[in-house]
Structures are given as structure tokens and as C-alpha cells.
A and B are shown apart, each in its own frame.
Chain A
Amino acid sequence: MTYSVPRDRALKGLTIAAGVLFVLAMLMDFFYVGPEKTQGEAQRIFYIHLGSFLGAFIAFAAAVVAGIRYLSSRESRWDILGLASVEIGLGLSGITIITGMAWAKPIWNTWWTWDPRLTSITIMWLAYAAYLMLRAGIDDPERRRRFAAVYGIVAFASVLFTIIIIRVRPDTIHPVVAGPTQADPSGGFDVAGRIRDTLFFNLFTFSVITVTLVWHRIRLENLAERVTRRKLDVLSEL
């Protein structure tokens, strides 16, 4: 994706929309839903927690798509999408972990516990941090893009592991909101009413925010590339 004025305007519009959506989502979190009957006020952080995880999931899935597209087409724009997605995904899953810890303190009376869910999302975070280490460690740019694409695809296994672990392991204390569990194998969706409205609105908002952030990161990378090219042009004229 190259730099252009109409595209820039679209991004500006999307950024404003994401900002407005975020403010509305926060208003819903704090005023539209009442305190939950067992967890009280602490439950309000759940919307950000699940929203940011959905955002991270979208970003990491985009990295898989970008990796496959890069390996088949060898166009560097797919590599830029992969890099942007992993960086944004790391930030969003960091938010998931931190909001989870903030929620765990009043509910579980500890910031951290070696629960399978908590362990597996930390492993996921580390796997994608390693993606950035891999990129930093390879000098040849063509090889770096190729290896990053391969690693981005394989590392998605850790995302899948995070999602399925609590279905495999019954002794987690982490709540399960959607999908089949040991207790309820047929699956279900365990929220209703205002909580459901707020949850869906937050999930939508975080999806929009993720797309916006990835787009911004791609634009930044393209601008950085343009600066490098300009510098080379100037140097060659000297």
C-alpha cells in the first residue's frame, strides 16, 4: 500500500470513527451496564479484556494471511502487513494480560496465578515477541521477510493453543463465556441483556481499533521507506 492523499483521508476518517466508538464503548462499560451481581464493579473491565483479545486474534490471524500471501507473491507489502499485525497484536494481547491481572486482584485475590489460561496467553505473547527478535537477527532483507512469514504462520499454533487449552484442561479457574466446555459440551453463550449489548459493542469497537492501528502502522512503515529512498536519492546526487 503506497502513500496517497485519498487513502490518507480515509484513514483519518477511520481514526475518528474508532475514537468515537471507543468513547461510546467506555460510556456503555461504565454507565449503560449495571454492576454484575456476583463480581460487582470489577466485572466492567471484562469488556476491554475480551475486546483486546479479539483484536489480538484478528491481528495474529492477519499475520498468517500476510505470511501465506507473501510466500506466494513475494510482494513486500504483505510483509509490511505481517510486521504491522504482529506489533499491534502484541500490544493488544499485552492489554488483555494486564486487564486480566487487574480483574484477578479483587476476584481471585492475586495478580497472577499459574492457571493454564494465563500461562498459555503468556506463551503466545512470548512467541510473537520472538518474531520481532527473528526479524532483528537476520540481515538480508529478502531472507528476513521469508523467515518472518514462515514464523508468523507457525506461531499461530500458540494462539490456537490459548483458545483450546481450557476446553482440554478442566481445572482452570478462568471463566469461559462462549463455546463448549467440560461442564456444558454442547456450547452456549453465557450472557444476556445489557451485558450482551455492551459486550458486542466492545468487540466491534476493538475490531475497528485493530484495523485502524494496523493501517497506521503500515502507513508509518511506508513513510519510513520513502524517507530512506529520498535519502538515497539525495546521496546519489551529491
Chain B
Amino acid sequence: MSAPPGNAHSTPNKPSAGRVRRPVTAYWRAVGVIAWKDLRAEIRSRELVTSMILFTLMTVMVFSLALELDADARQNTVAGVLWVTVVFAGMLGLSRSLAAEKDRGSLDALLLAPIDRSALFFGKMIGNLVFVLVVAGVLMFALTVMFNITLIRPLIVLFVLLGSIGFTTVGTLFSSMSVHARARETLLPILLLPVVLPILISAVRGSTAILNDLPSDDWLPWLQLLVVADVIFLAAGYALFDFVVEE
């Protein structure tokens, strides 16, 4: 991720002799502070990630019982099981992320802060992304052990990372809309699932092709589609979050 354009708070890097300054601008500091605030609250309470991980493990149990998977079937369905579980567990976290801020009234305080609104968006999104990645990591480990398929491979990790970025970007944008709705818990999945399905399909198809050791012709187009979708959704989130939270 590079620094977005139109960043009013960035301080130009002064060329200083003999010393390389890290290009951390006020914008990215604000992003980091917001993300770290969410992570620290979670490290202290441990309520969200604990329930997400428990939910994840139960879902894997339900899948393996419901689908009665043998070794062959596991090979072809494990990526689907991984992604469906990550998406549903991620939805639990996303619906809480802004709902908690709104219910405690801290959202108003965040909006009053003299920072770019998109910094708030990226901070929230990175917080959610870390939760989703923790869940995905635990799930990949669990599936590797329980399904006897090595999921922890560089390319699979890359697909998980790119898919999670796209999912949490759209998810953060939509959950900040659905908190204002009457039935917020039901509205978020309805809004989010059809829009992130392209990401989901690309990630599942690509991961399955890699697990079956197919040549790169079979998974490279999915990887490209995933990158394009991520870029589109990041740009949409950056441009549109302002309009969602303005009050």
C-alpha cells in the first residue's frame, strides 16, 4: 500500500545528511494509532477473537460431519471450507467493529479527531484485517492437522492475505453503513456477501488449483483478478468512507 494521493497531513521528507528518515507521515501515524487502539482493546478483553476462533473450529466440525469428506473430497473442498469459515467468522468481527464504537458513543469522538476520515477507515480496516488474519491462521493450522492437507504454503498464504484485504475493505465500508440500520446484524451479510463473492470465488478457485499442484496457468488469472478487485475496493473505500460517516 502506498500513501494515497490528496493527503493533506503528510510532511515532506527533508533531505537530512547521512541519516535516512523513515517516511512515516502524520496520516499513517493516525492509521497506526487507530488500528493499535482496536488491537490493544482486543488484547485486553480477548472477547472477539476468542469467540471468532471458537466459531471457526465449530464450523470446521460441522463441515466435516455434514459433508462426510473422504481424502479425495477433502483435497477439493478444503479451500472452500477455509474461505466460507473465514467469511462467516469475519462477519462476526466486522459487525462488532463499528457497532461497539457507535453504542459507546466513541465513534463521535473519533470523527471529531483532526485527522483525515480515510485514515480512520484504514485504521479500522487494518484492525479488522488483523483479526481476520489471526482467525485464518488458526484455521489453516487446524485444517492442516485435521484434514491432513498442508495449507501453510507461501502461495496459499498470499491468496489468504489478498482475499482478506479485499474482504475486510468492503466489510469495513459496509459495516459502517449497516450500524445505522434497524436490523444491522441481518443487513451486513446481505450487503456484503454478493459484493465480496468475486473475491471469494477467486480465492477458492486459486487455492484449490494450487493445492492440486496445477500449473500456474490455472491459478495466475485468479491471482490477477484478486489483485485488481483489492485495488478497486481499496480505492472505493478510500473515496467513499467520507460520505458514509459524515454527520
B240 and A123 contacting across the interface, CB-CB below 8 Å: no
Pair A127/B240 contact, Cβ less than 8 Å: no
Query: Which chain A residues border B191 with CB–CB below 8 Å?
Result: 130, 133-134, 151
Residues of chain B contacted by A149 (CB below 8 angstroms): 243
C-alpha gap A120/B197 in the complex (Å): 9
Q: Is B177 interfacial (CB 8 A cutoff)?
A: yes
B17 shortest CB reach to chain A, Å: 46
**Interface of B (DSSP majority class):** helix
Contacts of A165 in B (CB 8 A): 198
Is A168 in contact with chain B by the CB < 8 A criterion? yes
| Interface size, chain B (Cβ < 8 Å) | 31
Contact of A158 with B198 at beta-carbon distance under 8 Å, contacts A150-B177, A153-B236 already known: yes
Across the interface, name the chain A residue whose C-beta is closest to B177.
Answer: A147
Residues in B202-247 with C-beta less than 8 Å from chain A: 205, 221-222, 224-225, 229, 232-233, 236, 240, 243-244, 246
Instruction: Contact check, B222 vs A168: say whether CB atoms are below 8 A apart.
Output: yes
Among the stretches B50-58, B157-165, B182-190, the one at the interface with A is B182-190
Contacting pair B194 A158 (CB below 8 A): yes
B61 on the A face (CB < 8 A): no
Instruction: List residues of chain A with CB within 8 A of the CB of B243.
Output: 71, 146, 149-150
List residues of chain B with CB within 8 A of the CB of A120: 198
- 20 other contacts beyond A138-B180, A150-B173, A161-B198, with CB at 8 A cut-off? A119-B201, A123-B198, A124-B194, A133-B187, A134-B187, A137-B178, A137-B181, A137-B187, A138-B182, A140-B180, A146-B244, A154-B174, A155-B194, A155-B195, A157-B195, A157-B233, A158-B197, A161-B229, A164-B225, A168-B222
Q: Give the 3 A-B CB pairs with smallest separation, nearest first.
A: A127-B194, A137-B181, A161-B198
A residues whose Cβ falls under 8 Å from a Cβ of B: 71, 116, 119-120, 123-124, 126-127, 130, 133-134, 137-140, 143, 146-147, 149-151, 153-155, 157-158, 161, 164-165, 168-169
